[in-house]
Chain A
């Protein structure tokens, strides 16, 4: 039962930085922000994504758990 997460970052994720999030689906929103979504097995994986956001100097606006069920 692996949870799905959505992270919302303020910046438009350029190609160079996007490569680092290769386990997530990246959607560029019309207001210039970016949404990252994906299934992460546990909290450790989530913290890994958060660390990437920090290291790449991106701004985190929102994190939410979307669903905890397999479809």
Chain B
């Protein structure tokens, strides 16, 4: 595939003789290129590509060109080519970025990668009509809506691209060149026919030809070819002007009839191909001088144009190829031509083309063999849509009779759907296989499905079986099994095992070039370590991955930010969480975005910025409404409920509990965030005894499993509930246990986030427990017994704004006072509240119920 790869990115070569000088159009193009989208929409043979190629040679700005074909309907492939094209002019697009490419994130990534540039960036997409895949169209639409003002898209197509263009037109963002704009004017036709095609024609000849073809360049070209070497021009033009037949049919017949037989043969036989190189043409025509023929044809009548300077590969205009192929039907053995082509492509390792030709002659047996050969390559480049296309063109019976292909197909559908087809494919495959490796692969896919169905115990056993069957070096499949196994352990709350399995998965992922999976296992481990209370280890793991700004690294930033927050280092926490969320949004990675939003909301709650927390949580909920991982909207609901709780909106929070869809009877690790939320709501609603009983039920279930964070959290909540019932001895006993664990790990915010009630309890044990004293002193908040001096109205206003997260400048704007005045108010506030920074001021104010 490599040779053709480069050529897609080349601006098509123009032979000097091809170009009629068309300054008015070049000028139009230069002017319109400042719009967001320039569209050249005209039927085939109108000269779109030639015009664009000529224009390209006249401009200085960074320019990328991509010639599209129907294989680019695979979004993965499409965006890979776009990034490759951009890489030529933007060196900060690294190879690693390309390896981590995800078709869903790609449009957003392209937007951010092109966001900074001193000069305009122009992206040309030629033959856009080849694209039919709606996902690709949506991606381009996204680009058009979000790309920076200095990025310009030029689309050349046979029909208007199926994009919402109305909006762009109305805003003056769209420039168009249509068929009537780019047709040859009579004077241009004259130059073309006389100077370039070297014909001796009178003015009325030219006008007759121009009139009949309506300036259509391809028509004029063929007409010119028909005229070359003819003596009686008048007869030809009369007949031509008078015919009712389809113009091109008529002309191609004329052209072909006048070619020497071996050339005619060559043209007809090679018409089944979409790209031409000498060895391929030799194979299809059973000759050995294709190179000579190609070069001759290039020079005499330009049927073929080279795609690069080596003259290794050529293209033929699609229109001519279609006409020739139509005539080819008169020949007997089209099938053997396809077969020759397929065999040549197979020998060259160009499976996509080989498969196309095999399917044309319906040799399904051979096609299946080719697809199996191509499977690994397609898989490692992630072009699953392409693979699924091939599968879908096989008769069902053929597919189901090829067990290995069924396994590959199942693996493909597992990733890109339709998901209902996976099980029947696996069942069919399993019946026909007795090879341990392949049965292991079937198991690996099954285990992923079991995990998705939340059947974790079955998934666990299936994964073990898969791993016992798969050889050590079957990396991709072992990786699949290991990831599912770690997921099953995680769901069952077996954190130590989760880490072990993730470590194994990491090594295997490295060996199978599963870069994304490798990252996932690192960050997943970091998170599990946090749940186990190993904050320092977790932080260290994240800290290793902060260099660079790949979207997936957003997880490391966010994760580290969460740990900083747990430690109470609020400034570092915010910096990292915001970076994490930004990267996640940029790359549209669900796992990162979810964590970013949750951690940011928690940070805002910790610092008393309640309004900001509500806004963030609502933004998160809007995001979570988009179809995606159910985990995301579950977390969105839970964090919003916590925000309502902080605002004192108990009814809203209770409403959330009523929509919960799991049973809280048995403690379940994967629901621990919801359970924590539920318990806090119950305390706020007064169900203290129920909370204590529930927690007493949970604790023995989780103690053996190292869920340290949850254990501390539950003990804290138990202490609070008991204190509400005035059972102080029991409350303090629970608190002491929590303190011992927390001190060992370094948890701070778990306590402080519970506010005044927790501070009151800590105060009672501070003399016997230094850690409690440390927690109280952390924000330097002393347990308050009222203010010495009341706050003025203005000071209260400033305080409210600080609590909402406003900067001094914001406050000055809002209250219409100077920043100096703001600072004075703030220093008075600090004095009256007996604090020395904003965080302390807000916390103190909350305790004293000075806010709202």
**What residues make up the interface of A, taking CB atoms closer than 8 Å to B?**
19-24, 41-52, 54-56
With A49-B160, A51-B132, A55-B134 in contact, do A44 and B42 touch (Cβ < 8 Å)? yes
A21 engages B164 (CB within 8 Å): yes
With A44-B42, A44-B179 in contact, do A20 and B163 touch (Cβ < 8 Å)? yes
Q: What separation, in Å, do the CA atoms of A52 and B163 have in the docked complex? A: 7
User: Which residues in window 148-200 of B have CB below 8 A to A?
Assistant: 157-167, 169, 178-180
**What residues make up the interface of B, taking CB atoms closer than 8 Å to A?**
41-43, 129, 132, 134, 137, 157-167, 169, 178-180
Contact of A56 among B134, B157, B165 (CB under 8 A): B134
Contact of B43 among A19, A44, A48, A52 (CB under 8 A): A44
Contact of B162 among A41, A42, A51 (CB under 8 A): A51
Of all chain A residues, which has the CB nearest B40? A44
A47 engages B164 (CB within 8 Å): no
Query: Which residue among B162, B165, B179 has the maximum number of chain A CB atoms within 10 Å of its CB?
Result: B162
Chain A neighbourhood of B180, CB < 8 A: 42
With A44-B179, A47-B158, A48-B160 in contact, do A23 and B169 touch (Cβ < 8 Å)? yes
Of all chain B residues, which has the CB nearest A57? B134
Of all chain B residues, which has the CB nearest A24? B166
A22 engages B160 (CB within 8 Å): no
Closest CB in chain A relative to B54 CB, distance in Å: 21
Chain B neighbourhood of A44, CB < 8 A: 41-43, 157-160, 178-179
Q: What separation, in Å, do the CA atoms of A52 and B138 have in the docked complex? A: 12
Contact of B178 among A22, A24, A42, A50 (CB under 8 A): A42
Q: What separation, in Å, do the CA atoms of A20 and B164 have in the docked complex? A: 4
Chain B neighbourhood of A41, CB < 8 A: 178
Chain A neighbourhood of B134, CB < 8 A: 55-56
Q: What separation, in Å, do the CA atoms of A41 and B160 have in the docked complex? A: 11
10 pairs from A and B in contact (CB 8 Å cutoff): A20-B163, A22-B166, A23-B169, A24-B166, A46-B159, A48-B41, A48-B162, A51-B162, A55-B137, A56-B134
Closest CB in chain B relative to A2 CB, distance in Å: 11
Q: What separation, in Å, do the CA atoms of A65 and B160 have in the docked complex? A: 18
Q: What separation, in Å, do the CA atoms of A51 and B169 have in the docked complex? A: 19
Chain B neighbourhood of A46, CB < 8 A: 159
Closest CB in chain B relative to A6 CB, distance in Å: 17
Q: What separation, in Å, do the CA atoms of A41 and B43 have in the docked complex? A: 13
Q: What separation, in Å, do the CA atoms of A56 and B42 have in the docked complex? A: 23
Of all chain B residues, which has the CB nearest A51? B162
Contact of B164 among A22, A42, A45, A50 (CB under 8 A): A22
Q: What separation, in Å, do the CA atoms of A43 and B179 have in the docked complex? A: 9
Chain A contact residues, majority secondary structure:
helix
A55 engages B158 (CB within 8 Å): no
Further pairs besides A23-B165, A43-B43, A43-B159: 8, Cβ < 8 Å: A22-B166, A22-B167, A23-B169, A44-B43, A44-B157, A50-B159, A51-B159, A54-B162
Q: What separation, in Å, do the CA atoms of A49 and B159 have in the docked complex? A: 9
| Shortest 9 CB-CB contacts between residues of A and residues of B | A48-B160, A22-B166, A47-B159, A23-B166, A52-B162, A51-B162, A44-B41, A22-B164, A55-B134
Closest CB in chain B relative to A12 CB, distance in Å: 19
Contact of A19 among B137, B162, B164 (CB under 8 A): B164
Q: What separation, in Å, do the CA atoms of A49 and B137 have in the docked complex? A: 13
B159 engages A48 (CB within 8 Å): yes
Chain B neighbourhood of A22, CB < 8 A: 164-167
Q: What separation, in Å, do the CA atoms of A45 and B157 have in the docked complex? A: 10
A45 engages B162 (CB within 8 Å): no
Q: What separation, in Å, do the CA atoms of A51 and B42 have in the docked complex? A: 15
Of all chain A residues, which has the CB nearest B167? A22
Chain A neighbourhood of B43, CB < 8 A: 43-44
Q: What separation, in Å, do the CA atoms of A43 and B134 have in the docked complex? A: 22
Q: What separation, in Å, do the CA atoms of A54 and B132 have in the docked complex? A: 9
Chain A neighbourhood of B169, CB < 8 A: 23
B179 engages A42 (CB within 8 Å): yes
Q: What separation, in Å, do the CA atoms of A52 and B167 have in the docked complex? A: 16
Q: What separation, in Å, do the CA atoms of A41 and B519 have in the docked complex? A: 51
Closest CB in chain A relative to B218 CB, distance in Å: 15
Of all chain B residues, which has the CB nearest A47? B159
Chain B neighbourhood of A48, CB < 8 A: 41, 159-162
Chain B neighbourhood of A20, CB < 8 A: 162-164
Q: What separation, in Å, do the CA atoms of A52 and B166 have in the docked complex? A: 13
Query: Which residue among A19, A42, A54, A56 has the maximum number of chain B CB atoms within 10 Å of its CB?
Result: A42
Chain A neighbourhood of B161, CB < 8 A: 48, 51
B41 engages A45 (CB within 8 Å): yes
Q: What separation, in Å, do the CA atoms of A7 and B462 have in the docked complex? A: 54
With A55-B134, A55-B137 in contact, do A45 and B166 touch (Cβ < 8 Å)? no
Closest CB in chain A relative to B72 CB, distance in Å: 15
Q: What separation, in Å, do the CA atoms of A54 and B161 have in the docked complex? A: 12
Chain A neighbourhood of B129, CB < 8 A: 51
Q: What separation, in Å, do the CA atoms of A20 and B165 have in the docked complex? A: 8
Q: What separation, in Å, do the CA atoms of A9 and B179 have in the docked complex? A: 28
Closest CB in chain B relative to A17 CB, distance in Å: 10
Chain A neighbourhood of B179, CB < 8 A: 42-44
Q: What separation, in Å, do the CA atoms of A20 and B134 have in the docked complex? A: 11
Closest CB in chain B relative to A36 CB, distance in Å: 12
Chain A neighbourhood of B167, CB < 8 A: 22
Closest CB in chain A relative to B658 CB, distance in Å: 30
Of all chain B residues, which has the CB nearest A23? B166
